[in-house]
């Protein structure tokens, strides 16, 4: 049965999409069956997995409006090694259209329940907001992976996310927990980053993943080739870090 994780942080540009597609590719590499759900109307996870968002016949939008199933809307990315439930600009409209519908925050949960035996991992790339789309993601997840840069304001933004997760946990999804904080775009030469990293570990203890993702230009270049960095340049430092992280996730899941 699939374990479902949201990759969330309400800040933009912190590495959510990079984490989603590279963790997915890393998990596929170590033999896991993976589905990536793109919940961001920007469709970056879709494009970054080698699926053209402009050519989607069915997308996560259709799934949220219950006009098709996950199995019907998903596409397989041969190169990336996993399935993708894609998104494009159409998804921005779902926010408004869902408002008047019943079970509006549970649409994705219901849809994924029908696909749970097809995958070991479902990774949901959330938009940079705490919106109805993100809420749909949090409602169906077993855990949240929070990518963060070790910068001064990182901890401040974290408290809003932690509060949202607590509320969803209390009201909508008792399974939900922060599975871990992932330090991304890390540069060990920068003193402040080391200090924030130490602070994170003292505040959050073993909720901080052991794996650390370095700042690595190959990870940033990969999306323009429609590939996760793990596939684009498997020998790069960034790719190695994400494959290590995938192994760490498999270990965590086995102890959940
Ligand atoms: P988000 O999905 O949170 O908005 P992205 O994953 O799109 O963030 O990352 C924001 C930018 O930072 C992108 O241009 C991406 O290529 C770049 N980036 C992300 N992680 C790394 C990394 N480890 N090293 C270098 N660049 C990175
Ligand atoms: Mg993104």
**Amino acid 124: pLDDT:** 98
With a 6 Å cutoff on the Cβ, whether 49 touches ligand 1 is: no
Q: Which atom of ligand 1 is nearest to the CA of 20?
A: 6
Q: What is the pLDDT of residues 21-40, one digit of tens each?
A: 999 999 999 999 999 999 99
Q: Which atom of ligand 1 is nearest to the CA of 215?
A: 24
Q: Is 204's pLDDT higher than 80?
A: yes
Residue nearest to atom 11 of ligand 1 (CA): 13
Q: Which atom of ligand 1 is nearest to the CA of 221?
A: 16
> In the beta sheet, which residues pair with residue 55?
none
**Amino acid 52: pLDDT:** 98
Residue nearest to atom 16 of ligand 1 (CA): 220
Could you give the CA distance from residue 228 to residue 250 in angstroms, rounded to a whole number?
19
Q: Which ligand is nearest to the CA of 10?
A: 1
With a 6 Å cutoff on the Cβ, whether 111 touches ligand 1 is: no
Q: What is the pLDDT of residues 143-195, one digit of tens each?
A: 999 999 999 877 787 888 899 999 999 999 999 999 999 999 999 999 999 99
With a 6 Å cutoff on the Cβ, whether 183 touches ligand 1 is: no
- Residues 6+ away with beta carbon under 8 Å from 197: 150, 183, 186, 212
Helix/strand/coil percentages in the chain, nearest 5: 50, 15, 35
3-state SS assignment for residue 35? strand
Q: Which atom of ligand 1 is nearest to the CA of 19?
A: 6
Mean pLDDT along residues 35-50? 98
In 3D space, the residue among 137, 128, 109 whose CA is nearest the CA of residue 42 turns out to be: 128
Q: What is the pLDDT of residues 208-232, one digit of tens each?
A: 999 999 999 999 999 999 999 999 9
Q: Where are the domains of the chain?
A: 3-255
Contact between 79 and 231 under an 8 Å Cβ cutoff? The reply is yes
Q: Which ligand is nearest to the CA of 44?
A: 2
Compute the distance from residue 214 Cα to the ligand 1 centre, in Å: 11
With a 6 Å cutoff on the Cβ, whether 215 touches ligand 1 is: yes
- Homologous superfamily (CATH) for 3-255: P-loop containing nucleotide triphosphate hydrolases (3.40.50.300)
Residue 151's φ and ψ, nearest 5 degrees, are: -120, 170
Compute the distance from residue 22 Cα to the ligand 1 centre, in Å: 11
Mean pLDDT is lowest, of 72-81, 101-110, 111-120, for 101-110
- How many other C-beta atoms lie within 10 A of the C-beta of residue 53? 21
3-state SS assignment for residue 167? helix
pTM across the whole model: 0.97
Mean pLDDT along residues 84-104? 92
Contact between 76 and 226 under an 8 Å Cβ cutoff? The reply is no
- Quick one: DSSP state of residue 205? G
Angle made by CA atoms 7, 123, 215, in degrees to the nearest 5: 50
């Amino acid at each position: 049965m699939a374990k479902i994780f949201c990759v969330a942080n309400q800040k933009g540009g912190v590495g959510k999409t990079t984490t989603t597609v590279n963790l997915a590719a890393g998990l596929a590499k170590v033999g896991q069956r993976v589905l990536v759900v793109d919940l961001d109307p920007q469709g970056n996870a879709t494009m970054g997995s080698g699926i053209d968002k402009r050519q989607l016949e069915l997308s996560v939008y259709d799934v949220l409006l219950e006009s098709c199933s996950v199995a019907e809307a998903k596409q397989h990315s041969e190169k990336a090694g996993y399935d993708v439930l894609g998104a494009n600009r159409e998804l921005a409209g779902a926010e408004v259209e869902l408002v008047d519908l019943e079970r509006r925050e549970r649409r994705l949960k219901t849809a994924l329940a029908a696909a749970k035996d097809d995958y070991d991992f479902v990774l949901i790339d959330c938009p940079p907001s705490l919106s109805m789309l993100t809420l749909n993601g949090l409602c169906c997840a077993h855990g949240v992976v929070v990518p963060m840069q070790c910068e001064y304001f990182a901890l401040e933004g974290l408290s809003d996310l932690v509060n949202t997760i607590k509320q969803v946990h209390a009201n909508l999804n008792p399974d939900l927990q922060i599975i871990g904080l992932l330090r991304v775009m890390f540069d060990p030469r920068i003193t402040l980053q080391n200090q924030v990293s130490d602070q994170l570990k003292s505040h959050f203890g073993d909720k901080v993943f052991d794996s650390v993702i370095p700042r690595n230009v190959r990870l940033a270049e990969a999306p323009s080739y429609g590939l996760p960095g793990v596939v684009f340049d498997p020998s790069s430092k960034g790719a190695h870090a994400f494959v290590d992280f995938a192994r760490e996730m498999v270990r965590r899941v086995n102890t959940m």
